[in-house]
Chains A and B, each alone.
Chain A
Amino acid sequence: MKDQTRLSGLWDWLDERLSLSAIKELALHKRVPMHRHSVWYYVGGMTLFCFLVQIVTGIFLLLYYRPTAEAAFESVEFIMTDVKFGWLIRSIHSWSANLMIFFAFVHMFSVFFMRAYRRPRELTWVSGAFLLFLSMGFGFSGYLLPWNQLAFFATKVGTDILGQIPLIGGWLLTVARGGEDVTGATLTRFFGIHVAVLPMISTFFLLGHLALVQKQGMSVPIGEEYKKCRQMPFIPNFALRDLVGWTLALGILVLLASLFPWELGEKADPLASAPAGIRPEWFFCFMFQTLKYIPGKVLFVNGELLGIIGFGLAGAALVLVPFLDRRAAREEKHKWLPVIGWFAILYIIVFTVLAYVV
C-alpha cells in the first residue's frame, strides 16, 4: 500500500510536468478494427520489431567492428570467433536485416491492397515508401561492411549502375564510392551512412509514420461490411498480441542465427577477378535481373539506362500511389489496381528466383 502511494505519487509528479495523462489518453484511445483481413495489421509492427533488433545488435557490433579496408574483415572474423556470443549477435543482425526488408515489402503490399493509403492517410503512405527505400539503403550499405569478396564486387556492380543515372550519375558514383573505384574510402563512407546518416533520417520518418498511425488510427478496407466491425483497444489487447508475435519472431531469429549462421566468406581482394555469378542482395535481385534481360540498345537508347529510368518511374509511382488512385479517395473499389499489385508481386518473385537459378 505504501508502494501504491509512492507509484501514484511519482505519476502525479511527472503528470504535472509532462502531461502524462494526455499522452496516456492518446495511447489508449487507439482502436484496431477486427475483421477477416486484420491479420495484416501485425506486419507493420513486425517490421518495427526487426528494426529495433537491428539497432540493438548493431550497437553491440559497433563495440568491435573496424571500418577500414585493412581491419574490417578481420574484425568481423574476430566477432565471429573470439568474442563471446559474437557469432550470435552478428548472425541475428544479418538475418534480422533480411527479415526487416521482407516484412517491409509485405507490409507495403498489404497496405496497398487494403487501400489504407487513401485519404486522410496519404502522408503515412509517403513516409512509408521512404522508409522502404531507406531500409534498402541500410541493406546496401551494410552489406559492404564485412569487406568480403561477394560484398566488394556486389558493391562495385551496384555503384556502377548508380553511375548510369542520367545527369547526376557520374557525380553520384564518385560520391558513393568516395573515389573512382570501390576502396577503403567507400567502406568508411558506407559505414558512416549505415550507422549515422540513415539512422538519423529513418528515425525522423519513422517517428512521423508512427505518430500518424497513432493519431489517425487504423484504416479498414473499402466496403460496407468493414464499417461496423468490432474495435479492439490497441492497448492492452492488440499490443499484447503484437508482443506474442514479437516473441515468436525473436525465437525464429535465434533459430536461424544458430542453425544457419551467416557466412564470412573471403577477404575482399580488389585485384582478383570478380567471382562468377556475382549478384546483389536478394531484395535488389529482381531489378538486377531485369537489367540483365534488357538488350544493350533499345532503338537508340542505352538499355541499362532505360531499365534505370523505368525503375525510377516505378519508385516515383510507388510514392505517389495515394494521389494516383482517385477512386480510393472517393471510397470506391478499383477494378484493375489490384491487378497491378499482383503483377508487381509476381514480377518480384519470378525475377528474384531467376536471379538465383539462371
Chain B
Amino acid sequence: MRAQRALFSRKFALWFIAAVVAGLIAWPLHGAGAKTGNSCLDCHIETTQKRLSGPAKNLVNDIHYTKGFGCQDCHGGDPTKGMAEGDPALAHDSAKGFVGSPRPQDVPAFCARCHSDVELMKKYNPKLRVDQLLEYRSSQHGKLLDTGDEKVATCISCHGVHGILPVADTRSPVYRVNVPATCAKCHSNPAYMKPYGIPTDQYALFKSSVHGYELLEKGDLAAPACNSCHGNHGATPPGLTSIAFACGECHANNRDFFNQSPHKDAYAQMNLGECTTCHNHHDIAKPTDSMLGVGEGVLCTRCHSQGDKGYEAAAKMSVELDTLKLTINHAHELLTRAERGGVNARLGKYDLHTADDALIKSRTAIHFFDFDKFHEIASSGITEAQNVITLGEEALWDLRVRQIGLGVTVPIILWVALALYLRIRRMERDKPFA
C-alpha cells in the first residue's frame, strides 16, 4: 500500500537510473565521432599534454592545412584509425610512413620533400621558389647543421610549425616588419650565441638605425630588414664588396658615383668595406653633413691629412655644401618674413623646392669624392637658391612699398579729416545754428 502511493513507479525509476548511467558513460565520448574525421587531429586535440595538443590546435591557422594537407601528409601514419579504437599505435603506423617528429638535423630535408619538388609545388602555387634547401645548405646555418649543431636555425625556427602563415601575412614571423625580431630571438641572446663568438648587438644596433626606424616605426616596407642584405635561406654575412651591391640596390646613385670615384680602387686595395667604412652596417645612422669635412674627428680625416688631394677635396666640398645650405636657409627665411608681413611668396616656394632637390643631389654627389663633379651639382643648387632669394627680396620690397603707401595715405586721410574739421569750425563760427 505504501509502495503504490510512491511518487514514481519502480519501472520509471529503473529507466531513469539507466538513462543517467548511459549519460555518464556517453558524456566523455561526446566529442568523439570526430569533427574533422582526421584521427590524428581529433585525438591530439583532446590530449591533456600541451606538447601534443598544441600543434593540433594551432593547425587550423596553418597555410598547409587550409590547402588540404593534414598531419599525415608530413608525419605519415594512418589518419583513419586509432581514434575510435582508442589505440594510438594504429595511427602511428610506420607501415603507413609514420616518422614522428623529426630531429632538427632532418627538418630541412623534411620540408624539402615537398618544397623542393617542382612538380608538386606547381600545383599549389607556381610562383613559389623551390630552391630553398639548396640555398639553406650554402648558408651558415646549413653548414653548421651539417656538422651536427642542433642549435642553429632551421625552417621551423623562423617560419614556425603547425601554424605556418604565408610571408605576406602580417602576423607571420617572417613578414618583413617582423623579420628583425625573429632573427633576434637567437642572435640577440648572448647566452645562446656564446659558442659562436659573434656579436649579439645587431638587433639593438639595427633598431637605432635609420633603416630600423623606417621599417619598424614608420612601417615603410621598402626599408631593408635582415634578409635584404643577408639573404633569406642562404643567410651568410655578406662580403665587404658584395655588401655594396646590396646597398646599391636602393642607393643606386651613391653606388654608381662611388664606383667612378678614387675610393673604389683604394678601398679594394686596403680591403675596406665600400659603404660600411663610413656608414657602418647595422647601425646605419641618418647621414649628417658633419660626416664630410676636415675638422677634428670628422670621417675624412681618418685617412686624409693636410696636403693630400683627398683632404683638399673634402675641405672644398664641405665649404660648398655649407654655402648651399646657408643660401637655402636664407631664401627660406626671406620667404617666411614676406609671408608674415602679408605678402604671399607662392612662386618662390616652388623654386625653393628645386633648390632642396639640388641639396639632396649634392649630398649624393659627395660620393664622387671629386670636387669638380660635386661642384657641377652643388653650384646649380646655389644658383637656384639665389633666384629664390631674389624673389624673396622682391617680396620684401613689395612689403616695403606697401608700408610707404600706408605712410602716404594715412597722412592724407588725417589731412582731409583736419580740413573738414576746420571747415566745420569756420562754418559754425560764421553761421551758428540755434
Contacts and interface: CB of A to CB of B under 8 A. Distances in A.
A233 B427 CA distance: 12
A247 B417 contact: yes
A244 B424 contact: yes
A39 to B, nearest CB: 15
B433 A264 contact: no
B410 interface: yes
B427 A261 contact: no
Given A251-B414, A254-B409, A237 B433 contact: yes
Contacts of A248: 413, 417
B170 interface: no
B434 A237 contact: no
Contacts of B433: 230-233, 237
B344 interface: yes
A254 B410 contact: yes
Contacts of A244: 417, 420-421, 424
Most buried by B among A87, A88, A236, A247: A247
Contacts of B409: 251, 254
B417 A261 contact: no
Contacts of B346: 77, 81
Interface in B394-434: 402-403, 405-406, 409-410, 413-414, 416-417, 420-421, 423-424, 427-428, 433-434
Contacts of B421: 244
A77 B406 contact: no
A163 B370 CA distance: 69
A243 B419 CA distance: 11
Contacts of B342: 87, 91, 258, 261
Contacts of B343: 81, 87
B424 A241 contact: yes
Contact of B344 (A81, A231, A232, A233): A81
A261 B403 CA distance: 12
Contacts of B428: 237
Interface band, chain A:
20 to 34
B413 A254 contact: yes
Given A237-B427, A244-B417, A247-B417, A77 B434 contact: no
A43 interface: no
B410 A231 contact: no
A80 interface: yes
A250 interface: yes
Contacts of B417: 244, 247-248, 251
Contacts of A258: 342, 402-403, 405-406
A240 interface: yes
Contacts of B344: 77, 80-81, 264
Contacts of B423: 240
A255 interface: yes
A75 B421 CA distance: 41
A243 B433 CA distance: 19
A255 B410 contact: yes
A88 to B, nearest CB: 8
Contacts of A264: 344
A28 to B, nearest CB: 12
Interface in A242-293: 243-244, 247-248, 250-251, 254-255, 258-259, 261, 264
Nearest to B402: A258
A163 B377 CA distance: 60
Nearest to A247: B417
A29 B74 CA distance: 112
Contact of B413 (A236, A247, A259): A247
Given A231-B433, A254-B406, A261-B342, A237 B424 contact: yes
A218 B421 CA distance: 23
Contacts of A261: 342
B406 A255 contact: yes
A41 to B, nearest CB: 15
Nearest to B428: A237
Interface in B333-349: 342-344, 346
A236 B428 CA distance: 10
B124 to A, nearest CB: 42
Contacts of A241: 424
A231 B428 CA distance: 13
Contacts of B427: 236-237, 240
Contact of A240 (B405, B406, B413, B424): B424
A157 to B, nearest CB: 28
A264 B339 CA distance: 11
A42 to B, nearest CB: 14
Interface string A26-37: 000000000000
Top-6 shortest CB links A-B: A261-B342, A251-B413, A81-B344, A247-B417, A258-B406, A244-B420
5 contacts: A81-B343, A88-B402, A240-B424, A247-B420, A258-B342
Given A251-B413, A254-B406, A261-B342, 5 more contacts: A81-B344, A237-B428, A237-B433, A254-B410, A258-B406
